[in-house]
Structure 1
Amino acid sequence: MFILKIMGSLMIIIASTLIGNIFGSKYSLRLKNIKGLINCIRLLESEILYLSNPLPEAFDNVYKKGSKNVSYIFRDIRKYLIENDDKNVLESFKYIINKNKVKLSLTKDDIEILVSLASILGTSDKQDQQKHIKVIIEQLKIQQRDAFERMKKNEALYKKLGLLLGLALVIILF
């Protein structure tokens, strides 16, 4: 009987610790994804401004060269644009970003920044697009700093909280 209590206690502690780790890891995932998005947007800028590639080709090249943890959205946007002739870049971005927002661990502000990028792609001249892309990158850098601060503050908190809740449950139950 005592061994069963020990085994049950260990299972509760391990499960609650894992849950805390899952919640805590969302903060580092957001930071990683914002860094990846900045890299992808810089690649997109090069594709548009210096190589003068059309958007579908530029999106495909960003997917191939970018951080795979986020660059897949550019592949999906390209695919969505090709499959839906009646949709524009903005609608495609909105659809794909909203479809993947949980997987990307992005906040509402992060998504708004990405959607604002989509609103200028292909609708203005190169210089105007370059200005907007620079602003988008700066906004994402601000979000990156925010993500880092939140990660520092909350990631360890959730991990420790998971362990402590598990210990508290064990104490209460036994």
Structure 2
Amino acid sequence: MFIVKFLGGLLILFSTSLIGFTYGNRYSNRLNNLIYMEQCIKILETEIVYGAVPLPDALLNVYKKGNKNVSFIFKEIREHMLKNKVEDIYYSFYSIKHILKNNLSFKQQDIEIILSLGRVLGTSNREDQEKNFKLILNQIIILEKEAKLDRDKNEKMFKNLGILIGLAIVIILI
């Protein structure tokens, strides 16, 4: 009977710890993905503003050159744009909204900034495009600082909380 209780306690402790680590890692993932998104947007800016590359090709180049943890969304945007023959690139950006939230751990404000890139992309001349890119990159840098603070504050807490809740449940059941 002791072995069953011991194994049950280990199982409970393992599962609550895993839940805590999963929630804690979301904060690290968000920060890392914001950094990768910033790099991808800089690549996109270079392609469009300085290279004068057509948008579908620029999106494909971002996919190839960027970190694959994030750059895959630019391939998704490109495929949506070409498949649906969308004139307004915003709808292609909007189509990846669920990926940004679920796969990249982005908050709503992060998603709104990326969608705002879709609103302004290709709607003006190069100088205005460059200003829009600078504005969006500055907003992402601010979000990175906020994400770092959130990570520092919450990641360790969730990891420890998962372990402590597991220990509390095991103690109560024994």
Q: Same fold (TM over 0.5)?
A: yes
- Matched with 1:64 is 64
TM-score scaled by length of structure 1: 0.97
**Other structure's SS at 1:104 match:** coil
Query: What code does the residue aligned with 2:28 have?
Result: S
TM-score scaled by length of structure 2: 0.97
Deviations 1:46-89 (A, max 9, x none): 00011110100000000000011000000000000000014520
- 1:170 to partner: Cα distance: 0.4
CA contact (8 A) 1:73 1:97 kept: no
- 1:43 to partner: Cα distance: 0.1
> Is the counterpart of residue 148 in structure 1 residue 154 in structure 2?
no
- State the distance in 1 between where 2:139 and 2:100 align: 20
Query: What code does the residue aligned with 1:43 have?
Result: I
- Matched with 1:171 is 171
- 1:120 to partner: Cα distance: 1.0
- 1:114 to partner: Cα distance: 0.6
- Matched with 2:112 is 112
- State the distance in 1 between where 2:68 and 2:90 align: 22
Length, aligned pairs only: 174
Which ranges of structure 2 fall in alignment gaps of 5 or more residues?
A: none
CA contact (8 A) 2:24 2:158 kept: yes
> Is the counterpart of residue 127 in structure 1 residue 104 in structure 2?
no
Aligned pairs for 1:21-40 (under 5 A) are 21-40=21-40
Aligned pairs for 1:48-87 (under 5 A) are 48-87=48-87
- 1:100 to partner: Cα distance: 3.7
Q: Which 4+ runs in 1 deviate beyond 6 A?
A: none
- State the distance in 2 between where 1:117 and 1:81 align: 15
- State the distance in 2 between where 1:49 and 1:98 align: 28
Deviations 1:88-126 (A, max 9, x none): 200110111334421110011101111111111111000
Query: What code does the residue aligned with 2:76 have?
Result: D
- State the distance in 1 between where 2:75 and 2:142 align: 26
- State the distance in 1 between where 2:127 and 2:154 align: 40
CA contact (8 A) 1:34 1:144 kept: yes
Query: What code does the residue aligned with 1:145 have?
Result: K
- Matched with 1:2 is 2
Identity %: 46
- 1:35 to partner: Cα distance: 0.2
